[in-house]
Structure 1
Amino acid sequence: MDVLAVLSLAIAPGVFWLWFFYRRDKLEPEPAHLIARTFFLGILVALPIVIAQSFFLFLPAFILYAIIAPITEEYGKFAVVRYGIYNNAEFNEPMDGIVYGAASALGFATIENIGYLLGSYFAPEEALGEGASAGDAVLFLFIMRSLLSVPGHAIWASFWGYALGRAKFTFPPFRGNRMIRDGLTLAMVSHGLFNGLLLLHPVLALGALIVIGVGWRMTFRRISAARAASSQDPES
């Protein structure tokens, strides 16, 4: 396995899940160039997120990954949509919040995935465990992150993305602001719970599967609600 193959594996899940969420927007699909732009902004926002997290490296790993990382990452991905596409005329139905939220989140998840898989590929042999190869480690990480962490980022983004999509068409504005705050908080808490369970104990890590399962259920409910609201929106 060469570096190009590792990069392809790292990028593939983000592209697949982006296609998956894009296909959920059946009423009025968003322009592909805006989806692509939001995806790449999600990649770019990783840099300020990493810089922000670097100020907290002195903290214990659990606090860093279960509290600081979810707060900085969810807000960074949220900011891409709130300040990059929210006021665009194409953001004209509740479902758009979920689609653009997923695009931003999956851009971030893709650059994160590249870092993890390349890190595993270039890890020293003694760090891989007896009998394990770099290729085996990369494939294991690819499968686990493709099914959990990468779609997880899109799931959490659906919470604040749905809130953004509804808030834009909610009056008075303070009600919409409360929706956004609640959606962002739910995303941060869910993300933190997922990370925390993975860190605490191998047995408790199974709980992360439950978090993802419940997250998918909540996401599909939001997709259904957003579609229904979009179909009733006179501007759609």
Structure 2
Amino acid sequence: MFAIISAAIAPGIALLSYFYLRDSLRPEPVSMVIRTFFFGVLVVFPIMILQHIMQTEWNLQGQILQSVLNSAMVEEFFKWIVVYYTAYKHVEFDEPYDGIVYAVAVSLGFATLENFFYLVINGLNVAIWRAFLPVSSHALFGVWMGYYLGLGKFSAEEHKRQRFVLVSMLLPMLLHALYNLIFSNQYWPWFILPFMVLLWWQGLKKVRLAHEFDSKIAKTRPN
């Protein structure tokens, strides 16, 4: 069991550490990041309950409905809710890149517990595959979510703020749905690698752009 726990936790901690350490200007309090991570862990349970209700009581059947509505939309919506109400409005959210840190923390909290359940059922032989695909994809969905939350938080115009906040919720849903739909195709090995490369490439680009935005804001602060 110790091996399973370690294999389940390690990818999430490694990825969270990577994105946290990229926050070089004004790093977030470690306690706040850990708290956000555990909120992501806790949100797994209401998501599981709702997904069970949707599948059994609402009779949601079919691969597309399962992939898009029951998985991608539900999971990303709950993660967004957690980030918005626990971090977005918090005083420590004082730079655009902070959105990435907190959204990645929530996403990896969710992914870590999900990964643990999956490894308990399927064993350690899928641990590497889980780390490179499901866990890292959740982190990258969080990057996109946090990037647009950061833009929204620091936009001077109200209509831009509302638009960015809406995009921060809808875009991760779309990316997650595409990820799930790739696996519903029998030729998924041909598509998942370029999709993940594109996701990482654009995700790291969002990290760089958020840092540039941080620097611009830092110059406007009084010394």
Higher helix share: 2
Partners in 1 of 2:113 and 2:94 — Cα distance? 29
Tell me which residue corresponds to 1:193: 178
Tell me which residue corresponds to 2:109: 107
Provide the TM-score with structure 1 as the length reference: 0.87
Aligned-residue identity in percent: 35
Tell me which residue corresponds to 1:162: 147
Provide the TM-score with structure 2 as the length reference: 0.92
What pairs up with 1:1-236 in 2 under 5 angstroms?
A: 3-57=1-55, 58=59, 59-121=61-123, 138-139=124-125, 141-201=126-186, 203-233=187-217, 234-235=220-221
Paired residue type of 2:205? R
Paired residue type of 1:21? F
Partners in 2 of 1:33 and 1:142 — Cα distance? 28
1:62 CA drift (Å)? 3.6
Cα deviation code 1:174-232 (max 9, x no counterpart): 2111112123222111111111111221x234312222111111111111111011111
Gaps of 5+ in 2: none
Paired residue type of 1:149? P
Gaps of 5+ in 1: 122-137
Contact 1:56 1:64 in 2 (8 A): no
Partners in 2 of 1:184 and 1:177 — Cα distance? 11
Contact 1:41 1:107 in 2 (8 A): yes
SS state at 1:92 partner: coil
Partners in 2 of 1:64 and 1:193 — Cα distance? 12
Partners in 1 of 2:146 and 2:116 — Cα distance? 24
Moved over 4 A (4+): none
Question: Would the alpha carbon gap of residues 171 and 63 (structure 1) be closer, same or farther in structure 2, given more than 3 Å must change?
Answer: same
Partners in 1 of 2:166 and 2:195 — Cα distance? 21
Deviates more, 1:47-56 or 1:159-168: 47-56
Partners in 2 of 1:53 and 1:235 — Cα distance? 45
1:171 CA drift (Å)? 2.2
1:66 CA drift (Å)? 3.3
Partners in 1 of 2:54 and 2:30 — Cα distance? 37
Q: CA RMSD in A?
A: 1.4
Tell me which residue corresponds to 1:130: none
Cα deviation code 1:8-61 (max 9, x no counterpart): 111111111111111111111110000000000000011111112112213224
